[in-house]
A = this chain, B = another copy of it.
Amino acid sequence: MVDVDRLDRNLRRWQEECDRLGLANRPHIKTHKSVEIARRQLELGALGLTCQKLGEAETMIDAGLDDVLIAFNLVGDRKLERLAGLMRRATVRVTFDDPALLPGLAGAARAAGEELGVLVDCDTGLGRTGVTEPARAATLAAEASRTGGLRFDGFLTYPVFAESRSFLEEAVELADVDVPTVSVGGTPTMWHAEELRPLVTEYRAGVYAFGDLNTIAAGVGSLDEVALTVRATVVSRPAPDRAVLDAGTKALAADRGRDGGFGHVVEVPSSAIVKLDEEHAYLRLGGDDSLRLGQTVSVVPNHACPAVNLHDDLVAVQAGEVVDRWRVDARGKIT
């Protein structure tokens, strides 16, 4: 269930902050995976979208949303053909962290007959993909610039650590080429973006659209700003202190929260979801045993993104009424 008023407020507040800071807003669609919500973000002033997979980008571009950054290394003939297909009909940029990726990307640009903008993926502390040294980032910037068909568009990192700023500053300083974009991401740090200006030019946030228990634990937002809940039914009351809901990892996702629990039940704030199976949530009631068998409740998930990816539709609610049903268009796009 999506609370439309809260969603719109969350989107508008962040766009206004980006406008105030002169920061390009490029929201990450990984959270909502929904054309309807991406469109709202763009209508409010977002510059374009961020996608994590080609399949997500294809979904958005099929819907006519035509400026997409794919923040992922693309490798392999099939994926590069798909990239070329997208470049023929939209503005697409990609990231890379290895010079071995450049010939493939250049080939896609050639096949599309378009210049491809590329950003160097910088690992400023996460230890996932990305180059781990500013000097290496600058070298890759130069290599991209020298590669026919490619245009070096800047540096990108995720998330923002204390060290990220100095890494990016050094990379920009060492780069022999112009650095049009410095792009960072992450909902937990978004309200500190001002401190990164003017170095950082673009911000990619995803979860801010809905909020979840993780972002609240990170100090961003509060329960009454959360726009996404999972509706569940009490299907068993095996003991006075225990209730079982018909929503497990298939509805809420398996992410454990910082408090050790698996979601917040709005109607019984003193309760705790202590365990999930695929189809069940185990609720410890903590004194409040008011829950009846058959009662429906709203659960705020720990992590909105994987929860949404389990559902085909979002039920849009306004003032307590169901007003629409939005497809999770890019659900399950794993390549």
**A residues touching B (Cβ–Cβ < 8 Å)?**
30, 52-53, 72-76, 79, 97-98, 100-101, 104, 123, 127-132, 233-239, 244, 246-247, 249-251, 253-255, 277-280, 282, 293-294, 296, 305-306, 309-312, 332, 334-335
Q: For the complex, would chain A's binding face be called helix, strand, loop or mixed by DSSP majority? A: loop
Contact in complex: A123, B247 (CB < 8 Å): no
Nearest opposing residue in chain B for A71, CB measure = B279
Chain B nearest Cβ from A175, distance in angstroms: 20
List the B side residues contacting A131 at CB < 8 Å.
Answer: 238
Q: A97-B236, A306-B249, A310-B334 are in contact. Are A128 and B293 (CB under 8 A)?
A: no
Contact in complex: A306, B280 (CB < 8 Å): no
Q: How many copies does the complex hold?
A: 2
Chain B nearest Cβ from A212, distance in angstroms: 13
List the B side residues contacting A332 at CB < 8 Å.
Answer: 250, 310-312
The distance in angstroms between the C-alpha atoms of A249 and B72, with both chains bound, is 16
Contact in complex: B251, A254 (CB < 8 Å): no
Contact in complex: A238, B132 (CB < 8 Å): yes
List the B side residues contacting A53 at CB < 8 Å.
Answer: 246, 279
Chain B nearest Cβ from A124, distance in angstroms: 13
What are 21 A-B contacts with C-beta separation under 8 Å? A30-B278, A53-B246, A73-B235, A74-B235, A75-B235, A76-B294, A79-B233, A97-B238, A100-B293, A104-B294, A128-B236, A128-B238, A128-B277, A128-B282, A130-B238, A132-B239, A254-B255, A279-B334, A310-B310, A311-B334, A312-B332
List the B side residues contacting A293 at CB < 8 Å.
Answer: 75, 98, 100-101
Contact in complex: A250, B334 (CB < 8 Å): yes
Contact in complex: A123, B238 (CB < 8 Å): yes
List the B side residues contacting A246 at CB < 8 Å.
Answer: 53, 72, 334-335
List the B side residues contacting A128 at CB < 8 Å.
Answer: 236, 238, 244, 277, 280, 282
